[in-house]
A and B are shown apart, each in its own frame.
Chain A
Amino acid sequence: MLSKYIKSIGQYFIMIYETFRRMTKTSELKRLILQELDDLIISSLGIVVFISFFIGAVIAIQTALNFSNPFVPKSLIGFAARQSIILEFAPTFVAIIMAGKVGSYITSSIGTMRVSEQIDALEVMGINSLNYLVFPKIIAMFMFPFVIAISMFVGIIGAYTASVYGGFLSSEQFLTGLQEDFIPFQLFYAFLKSFVFAIILATVPSFHGYYMKGGSLEVGRAATTSFVWTSVIIIFMNYFITQLLLS
């Protein structure tokens, strides 16, 4: 069992190495990267904006309802919403959502290509299939921090809307709290995390799709396994980076 995991980890790093070898023709790569940007990033914006707005709103309402002590300034609602959204919700929560949406898409699309011998067809033609399939996804996912920036912005708008229009505090109080004790390094921390998560989101599902064996049923299984492992690795790396940078 343990040797199986160690073998998989080794195979994963060999895959990363092979991905950057024998590059595909530049004109074709450009087309593939633009296509992946559309499939992985642009098509995810809708769900990210929707979830970010409402989670931001819920964070603000929950915080407001739990600050019943009159000695606690109401501006803390804005402060708490900002901290929750920037530090954890936007980078980590959105990454987990993306593991479900983008991760399963990557695994199933590459897995289907494996099952239908399309990957063999690429290899027979002398094309490095890993570079052709995985490299554009990695490059496209470098835009993931921009998705996170949008998520942060929309989340805070959601928190503002719910708390101000819900009658929990005034607009000035929220904005005061929002700007209170702001540490720019925390933004760096959040974006660094999202960059690491982006690489995990592009490569772990690709690994599960590329090396899958079996038929169409196994493609579904691989997508599920890929979601589980991508989430586990994101959560572990979240802990590791937080311990490294903030503690």
Chain B
Amino acid sequence: MIKVEDLHKSFEDLEVLRGLNTVFEKGKTNLIIGQSGSGKTVFLKCLLGLFTPDKGTILYNGKAYQNFSKNEKRELSKQMGMVFQGGALFDSMTVEENVVFPLKMFTKMTKGEMKNRVQEVLDRVNLIDTNDKFPSEISGGMQKRVSIARAIVNKPNFLFCDEPNSGLDPRTASVIDNLIQEITHENDITTVINTHDMNSVFEIGENIVYLENGLKTWEGNKDTIYKTDNQKLTDFVYASNLFQKVRIAQREEL
């Protein structure tokens, strides 16, 4: 579980996060949504420890990050998996080398054990016969799956995803969404997903946090988001014609 209390982050004169409070529960797919510039990526980078907050506390399983010793911070990093927007695969390494990388760096597994574990996670993300291929030789959807495989190979307790669907067709995007949700439930981990994709919101949004100008202005889930009276959230969710039609249809049903 991750608990965020009064989180502030500024860059020079620009105040990006202005006192965020929220809880990301274990075993759930937690989504952060909001317009571009609302502070989603900065928030995610604060959670990952890539940015140091100016004020506020982030508690991982009940312990505040600022109270962690250096060794504990290092241990926490090993418990985190991250799926970057562009995949962030090491392009000089093959798919297998990318996935085995965290194991090589942080475990004392034998080569055989590592190979088995890599094959296990590649099978889990449905990647077959791609072990010796380089990231440039596989599709965007496959790159995302390699990125997920690399993120979960070390059996993390926290999984973070920055717009995992961007640049993917709706079908592949849905596969990726479901894969992340299944992995979350199977391993009972805390998953935080930063997304713009409304399909993801309605498919896997077990806990949704809506950010607006660095503040949380709404929190709920895929079932309650229909009934919100937050006008800005409604405008954001139903910005596309398709979702407007869905909304009209739902209202007519009601």
Q: A28-B104, A124-B48, A125-B77 are in contact. Are A116 and B82 (CB under 8 A)?
A: no
B interface residue numbers (CB < 8 A to A): 48-50, 73-74, 76-78, 80, 82, 84-86, 88-91, 101-102, 104-106, 160
A117 touches B88 (CB 8 A): yes
B84 touches A123 (CB 8 A): no
18 contacts between A and B (CB under 8 A): A25-B105, A28-B105, A117-B84, A117-B85, A117-B88, A118-B88, A120-B88, A121-B88, A124-B48, A124-B50, A124-B77, A125-B80, A125-B101, A125-B102, A125-B105, A126-B73, A126-B77, A126-B78
Please tell me if A164 contacts chain B, counting CB pairs below 8 Å.
Answer: no
C-alpha spacing A28/B104, complex, angstroms = 8
Q: A116-B88, A120-B88, A121-B88 are in contact. Are A126 and B106 (CB under 8 A)?
A: yes
Minimum distance in angstroms from B79 CB to a CB of chain A: 9
C-alpha spacing A121/B73, complex, angstroms = 16
C-alpha spacing A126/B102, complex, angstroms = 10
Q: Which parts of A160-212 form the interface with B (CB within 8 Å)?
A: none
Closest Cβ neighbor of A25 among chain B residues = B105
The residues of B that contact A24 with a CB separation of less than 8 Å are 105
C-alpha spacing A112/B90, complex, angstroms = 11
The residues of A that contact B106 with a CB separation of less than 8 Å are 125-126
The residues of B that contact A123 with a CB separation of less than 8 Å are 50
C-alpha spacing A158/B102, complex, angstroms = 50
Minimum distance in angstroms from B191 CB to a CB of chain A: 15
Please tell me if A127 contacts chain B, counting CB pairs below 8 Å.
Answer: yes
A124 touches B90 (CB 8 A): no
A118 touches B90 (CB 8 A): yes
Minimum distance in angstroms from A126 CB to a CB of chain B: 3
B104 touches A124 (CB 8 A): no
The residues of B that contact A126 with a CB separation of less than 8 Å are 73-74, 76-78, 106
C-alpha spacing A127/B80, complex, angstroms = 12
C-alpha spacing A232/B219, complex, angstroms = 55
Q: Which parts of A107-121 form the interface with B (CB within 8 Å)?
A: 112, 116-118, 120-121
The residues of A that contact B84 with a CB separation of less than 8 Å are 117, 120-121
Q: Which 7 A-B pairs have the closest CB atoms?
A: A126-B77, A117-B88, A121-B88, A124-B82, A117-B84, A126-B74, A118-B88
C-alpha spacing A123/B84, complex, angstroms = 12
Closest Cβ neighbor of A117 among chain B residues = B88
Q: Which parts of A123-137 form the interface with B (CB within 8 Å)?
A: 123-127
Closest Cβ neighbor of A121 among chain B residues = B88
Taking a contact as CB atoms closer than 8 A, the residue among A25, A28, A117 that contacts B86 in the complex is A117
C-alpha spacing A123/B50, complex, angstroms = 7
Minimum distance in angstroms from B221 CB to a CB of chain A: 27
The residues of B that contact A120 with a CB separation of less than 8 Å are 50, 82, 84, 88
Q: Which parts of A87-123 form the interface with B (CB within 8 Å)?
A: 112, 116-118, 120-121, 123
Minimum distance in angstroms from A38 CB to a CB of chain B: 12
Minimum distance in angstroms from A139 CB to a CB of chain B: 18
Q: A118-B91, A124-B48, A125-B105 are in contact. List 18 more A-B contacts (CB 8 A).
A: A24-B105, A25-B104, A25-B105, A28-B104, A112-B91, A117-B88, A118-B88, A121-B84, A124-B49, A124-B50, A124-B80, A125-B78, A125-B106, A126-B73, A126-B74, A126-B76, A126-B77, A126-B78
